[in-house]
Amino acid sequence: MRKATVERRTKETQITTTVNIDGTGVYKVNTGIGFLDHMMEQLSRHSLIDITVKATGDLHIDYHHTTEDVGITIGQAIAQALGEKKGIERYGHSYVPMDETLSRVALDFSGRPYLVWKVNFTRDKLGEMDTELFKEWFAAFAQAAGITLHVENIYGTNNHHIVESCYKALARSLKVALAIDPRKKNEIPSTKGTLGGSMKKAAKKGKKK
């Protein structure tokens, strides 16, 4: 089983995250941020990755540090669980409709983290969560997981639907990219023989502040 646990302890957050890539979409998430919990649950359910997150953060300041660090720990845990990435499909993409909304995600477990983010919101908050923080989560996740990640909302008007369709599209894309190709299960899917890349390269505007 491809599993890993990551702990992150800073003056801003204390987080323990466990993932099982070969799971069934079982989740137990408690970040202290209701809407973020909801999105992590969607990520787990639709990727079939089991995800457990226990996070305590400086929510009395704002939700930025906790949101970003949850993205970091989930990305790190997936990267650790994958190891050399032997046998994975590597690429994944998905279109997800949600009522009037359609969003698209494409990704590559390239080892070269990068984020392209084409998502706009017309509200500053969803529940108590700032909508600008969703980009921070995706950037942190892409950087920590070592993936090239393109996220685009093609159209939509409901802000809840827009962000939820992005997370569901990410989940479906992960499900495809992380599947094992039985024809190449012992091989790294690259002519270079490695998918390490340079982890010093930041996802676009995704460096830790």
- Neighbour count for residue 198 (Cβ, 10 Å): 9
How far, in Å, CA of 207 to CA of 10, rounded?
16
Write down all domains in the chain, each with its CATH number in brackets: 3-184 (3.30.230.40)
Tell me the whole-structure pTM to 2 decimals. 0.91
Q: What is the pLDDT along the chain (209 residues), one digit of tens a residue?
A: 899 999 999 999 999 999 999 999 999 999 999 999 999 999 999 999 999 999 999 999 999 999 999 999 999 999 999 988 888 999 999 999 999 999 999 999 989 999 999 999 999 999 899 999 999 999 999 999 999 999 999 999 999 999 999 999 999 999 999 999 998 877 676 656 666 753 333 333 333 33
Residue 38's alpha-carbon distances to 42, 55, 167, in angstroms, are: 6, 14, 10
Q: How far is CA 193 from CA 72, 90, 110, 126, 190, in A?
A: 26, 13, 12, 44, 5
- Are 96 and 103 within 8 A, CB to CB? yes
Rounded CA-CA distance 51/45 in Å is 9
* Whole-number pLDDT of residue 99: 98
